[in-house]
Amino acid sequence: MRGCGTDDGCGCESPGLTRFEDALENLLSYAEKVTATVTVPLNQALGKVLAEDQCSVVNVPPNDNSAMDGYGVNVADLVGGDRCQLSISQRVPAGADPQPLKPGTAARIFTGAKIPEGCNAVIKQEDCEALGGVVDLPTAVKDGQNIRLLGQDIEAGAVIMAAGTRLQPHHLGVLASVGIAEVAIYQPLKIAVLSTGDELVEPGDELAPGQIYNSNRYTLTGLVQGLGMELVDLGIVADTAEATEEALLRAASEADVIVSSGGVSVGEEDHIKGAVEKLGSLNLWRMAIKPGKPFAYGNVQGKPFLGLPGNPAAVLVSFNILARPYLLKMQGADEIFPISYRAPIILNRKAQIRKEFMRARMVQEQGQVRIEPYSNQSSGVLSSAVWANGYAIIPANTEINEGLEVEFVSFAEVMS
């Protein structure tokens, strides 16, 4: 890992701080993909990661079908002037198996209905006039008009989805469209969430002087569930070595990965470091990022441990930029990073040694997109995230002048 590891006088860009990119690379190098798979019905597969490539055994659509409500004809029968009349020989609603088209006739047909043999075009009903058993039709009709061809969406034998795909609603729709009822997914990771801090009280309880409500628990459990992973919610952990060790041991026995908030500094009231070192091993990184400077990675009895900071906005950011890609890689997902956009930012400031992830709002006005950072970027100010709709990534050691294009990640990209 780059970085000098000292706090003084070395002349490097971020003395004593680990570069974010190095920490992320290092962290991801430890992420071991789960091997266990489980087969689940489609309605339990949302947000899970496919463990096997999926192939279609059918054509979609399975036969030529009508794209319109109208009349099915053979264009060779449309003779005469601008219009001609044909008798209506059958009615073909969606779901019916039609007779071959009688030569010299038309079939009343509806959207999605199977095209009768011998029919090679559908004329939309707005262009036709039916009178009793006869229909008046235009003659300028192209062969194949308004017919959706067999296999135009998916051909039998095609690979429709690769292992590693995180299943979103449209993936489930495509799997259903080829008749797949259940899929093999990687066994969802069980993630233990611990909220450390003697000052914490659960919402619904009275706040005594000096106490605050536990918000990290809800941010973190929501983020974990958004990733389609299983939650082992261990609630509040008191700031003592015993309580911290006990909670970590329970987490290690019940979960695949342990995520904690708070207690990762090195004050007397911070017990994560000592407890994790006692039960496994720990790397404590002071990263050149804002917010989220302290971040711990290690293991407790062999189970990966991610120690997030305590400050609520730092929890949100550090989960999204570090824990999320790590967990998705473990889960077998092929896309572990969000898509980012670039747009001009409304910000002027001097270069800073830490890369900053600013809660910000991407706005569009009169066709112009711009990024507006929230006024208070303190790592304790979580309400900033409600005002914001994503985060802007401000590079380290770079002076920012209004209008400079920076990267922006929408919350929509990382909250699920």
The closest alpha carbon to 258, from 222, 298, 214, 287, belongs to: 298
For residue 333, the one-letter residue type is A
CB of 398 to ligand AMP, least distance (A): 28
373-392: which residues touch ligand AMP (CB under 6 A)? none
Q: Per CB under 5 A, which region of 51-59, 124-132, 190-198, 297-305 contacts Mg ion?
A: 190-198
Interatomic CA distance for residues 72 and 61, integer angstroms: 18
On whether the CB atoms of residues 284 and 271 are closer than 8 A, the answer is: no
Least separation in angstroms between residue 163's CB and ligand AMP is: 36
> How far apart are alpha carbons 226 and 230 in whole angstroms?
10
Place of tokens 């309580």: 243
- Segments in 128-237 forming alpha helices (H): 169-177, 216-226
Whose Cβ is closer to ligand AMP: residue 175's or residue 313's? 313
Least distance from ligand AMP to the Cβ atom of residue 211, Å: 9
Least CB distance to ligand AMP at residue 207 (A): 12
Which of the choices Mg ion, ligand AMP, none does residue 116 contact, using the CB cut-off of 5 to 8 A by kind?
none
**Site size for ligand AMP (CB under 6 A):** 19
The residue within the footprint of ligand AMP, chosen from 216, 260, 318, 320 (CB under 6 A), is: 216
Phi–psi pair at 44, nearest 5 degrees: -115, 10
What does the per-residue mask of binding to ligand AMP show for 266-305, with x meaning CB under 6 A? Answer: ----------------------------------------
From CA 92, how far away is CA 60, in angstroms rounded?
20
Site string for ligand AMP, 57-96 (x = CB under 6 A): ----------------------------------------
Torsion of CA 221, 227, 232, 234, to 10 degrees: -20
Does residue number 262 form part of the binding site for ligand AMP (CB under 6 A)?
Answer: yes
Nearer Cβ to ligand AMP (108/217): 217
- Taking CB under 6 A as the rule, does residue 214 contact ligand AMP? yes
Among residue numbers 25 through 84, which ones bind Mg ion (CB under 5 A)? none
What is residue 142's three-state secondary structure?
Answer: coil
Could you tell me which of 24, 7, 8, 25 has the C-alpha nearest to residue 16? 7
Cα separation, 416 vs 397, in Å, equals 31
Q: Max CA-CA distance within the chain?
A: 96
Query: Which residue stretch of 10-18, 249-257, 261-269, 324-332 sits at the interface with ligand AMP (rule: CB under 6 A)?
Result: 261-269
Using CB under 5 A as the binding rule, the residues of this chain from 285 to 314 that contact Mg ion are 310
Give the integer Cα–Cα distance in Å for 315 and 336.
19
Q: What angle do CA 150, 152, 156 make, to 5 degrees?
A: 70
Instruction: Report the distance separating Cα 264 and Cα 309, nearest Å.
Output: 6
262 binds Mg ion (CB under 5 A): yes
The stretch near ligand AMP (CB under 6 A) out of 39-47, 66-74, 258-266, 386-394 is 258-266
Among ligand AMP, Mg ion, none, partner that 312 touches (CB below 5 to 8 angstroms by kind) = ligand AMP
CB of 319 to ligand AMP, least distance (A): 13
CB of 120 or CB of 320, closer to ligand AMP: 320
Q: Which does 212 bind (CB under 5 to 8 A by kind): Mg ion, ligand AMP, none?
A: ligand AMP
Span of 76-84, 124-132, 214-222, 318-326 interacting with ligand AMP by CB under 6 A: 214-222
Q: Is 261 in the site for ligand AMP (CB under 6 A)?
A: yes
Residues in the chain: 416
215 makes contact with ligand AMP (CB under 6 A): yes
User: In 18-159, which ranges are continuous DSSP H helix?
Assistant: 20-29
What is the Cβ-side half-sphere exposure of residue 333, based on CA atoms within 13 angstroms?
24
Spell 151-184 as b/e; 16+ CB within 10 A means b.
bebbeeeeebbebbbbbeeebbebbeebebeebe
Distance CA(170)–CA(62), nearest Å, equals 20
* SS3 of residue 115 by DSSP: coil
Considering only residues 165 through 204, tell me which ones interact with ligand AMP, judged by CB under 6 A. 195-197, 199-200
Binding mask 302-321 for ligand AMP (x = CB under 6 A): -------xxxx---------
Task: Give contact residues for Mg ion (rule: CB under 5 A).
Answer: 197, 262-263, 310
Task: Give contact residues for ligand AMP (rule: CB under 6 A).
Answer: 195-197, 199-200, 212, 214-217, 261-265, 309-312
